[in-house]
Structure 1
Amino acid sequence: MKKDQDPFKKLAPYYDLFMIKAGLYKTNTILKMVPLEPEQRILDLGGGTGYLARKLLGEKREIHVLDTSPHMTRFLQNTPVITTLGDGRATPYKEDFFHGVILSDTYHHIEEQNMLLQEIDRILAPGGFLLIHDFDKNSILTALIGCLEKLFISPVFYTTPQHLKEKILKRNYVLDKETYGLYWFIHVYKKLTL
């Protein structure tokens, strides 16, 4: 993405406030569901301003944010969160590098979702967790959110929780936890060891 094409150039300063006021962040639910342990290395893929990533810090955890927008990641300057500008479909990380990967409000922004999942398979260590928080394609509220996202951010590629679950379970994962809201869902998967 070219810098002048970054939709977050103007939105970034207001993004967290909007997400909080609109009730779109599900941080507390995510923190209850994610299997946090000391000394983990966790990637918040598409983590933007790092709102969630900062909440994951502690107990010698190494938290990374990968995002395409320098306007979003600049809010992580002077924090212990390690930021990388890049694309989740082709990351700079080594194989089996992370103990956990989180996609919160990210999955539906990626058109090549199979490519994204393949890259997560590569960088997530066996026994690690994959948490996906996204919006249910069949919800009318998701359709409204999608209109706003298409207007201000980018095209969207929503899926249903069931379709996503089927897609991931065909890979080397088991479903560990799941929860559902009116228009959103959170799944936590565990990558199996071979």
Structure 2
Amino acid sequence: MSNSDSRPTPTGDVGHFDRFARFYDFFSSPFDADILSEGLAQADRPIERVVDVAGGTGRAARAIDADERIVLDASKKMLAQARRRDLACVRGDASRLPLDSESVDAVVISDALHHIGDAEDALAEVARVLNPGGVLVVREFNPATIRGKLLVRGEHAIGMNSVFFTPEELTRMLADAELVPHVRNRGFDYTVAGVKRTSGTASRTA
């Protein structure tokens, strides 16, 4: 891993999260650990090292059973909350991950991809740092649903630059990043897992 005290150029909605970091967990809905586990189970290798990218206070990391859990976020104040929960933290930009290539077994991006300034670059970076057979699990909200449209309007109304993706769009993006995608569902909240190919991995989408 590169310098854990790197100072990224702020991207996406970092400023908003710096402002309400102290209250984030209080207003957040309960985290569904079972859905996350289903995505991680798609990996073609044992999962020992997991990075919660754009992980904020580490809500997803806390729900993961792994030897090493790292929260990576560009918001200094969100990471301060994660450290209070004894989580390992790295400050960094999701589109320029301060991690070595093929150095982690799984990456989670939960409720956060729409806040990242350049989602395509972030997914390419995830593919770079994943070990072969490793998995990316993305939990997102579908802007094509009624609740999704309301969410988009609400976040834009408070000045966020959120860019949401449908399950179909995100599936294509994972495939473009050379990750084999699997969609859990296509409702308002959905999860896509993308596995980094090994020499014996067949191309499969769902």
TM-score by length of structure 1 reads 0.84
Which 4+ runs in 1 deviate beyond 4 A?
36-39
RMSD: 2.4
Q: Which residue of 2 aligns with 1:40?
A: 48
C-alpha contact 1:135 1:183 (8 A) present in aligned 2: yes
SS of 1:7's equivalent in the other structure is helix
- 8 Å contact kept, 1:7–1:152: no
State the aligned residue count: 186
- Write out aligned runs for 1:1-194 (5 A): 1=10, 6-20=15-29, 25-35=31-41, 40-58=48-66, 61-152=67-158, 154-175=160-181, 177-180=182-185, 182-194=187-199
Tell me by how many angstroms 1:152 deviates: 4.0
Structure 1 distance, partners of 2:125, 2:159, is 23
Instruction: Tell me the SS of whatever aligns to 1:190.
Output: strand
Does the 8 A contact of 2:124 with 2:177 survive in 1? Answer: no
Secondary structure, in 3 states, of the residue corresponding to 2:106? Answer: strand
**Is the deviation greater in 181-190 or in 65-74?**
181-190
Alpha-carbon distance in structure 1 between the residues aligned to 2:164 and 2:192: 15
Deviations 1:52-102 (A, max 9, x none): 2122145xx111111111111111225442101111000111010110011
Asked if structure 1 preserves the Cα contact closer than 8 Å seen for 2:52 and 2:69, the reply is yes
Matches of 2:80 and 2:33, distance apart in 1: 20
Deviation at residue 146 of structure 1 after TM alignment: 2.0
TM-score (norm 2): 0.79
Deviation at 1:14, TM superposition (A): 2.0
Q: Distance in 2 between matches of 1:149 and 1:134?
A: 14
* Matched residue SS, 1:6: helix
5+ residue gaps in structure 1? Answer: none
Tell whether the 8 Å contact from 1:88 to 1:119 is kept in structure 2 after alignment.
yes
Question: Residue 60 of structure 2 aligns to which amino acid in structure 1?
Answer: L
Summarize the Cα distance change of 1:125–1:30 in structure 2 as closer, same or farther, 3 Å threshold. Answer: same
Shift of 1:136: 0.9
Between the aligned partners of 2:57 and 2:177, the Cα distance in structure 1 is 30
Cα distance in 1 for partners of 2:167, 2:18 equals: 31
Q: d(CA) in 1 for partners of 2:65 and 2:184?
A: 23
- Give the % identical residues: 25
Q: Aligned in 2, Cα 1:141/1:63: closer, same or farther, shift over 3 Å?
A: same
- Aligned-partner Cα distance in 2 for 1:15–1:102: 18
Deviation, 1:155, is 0.6
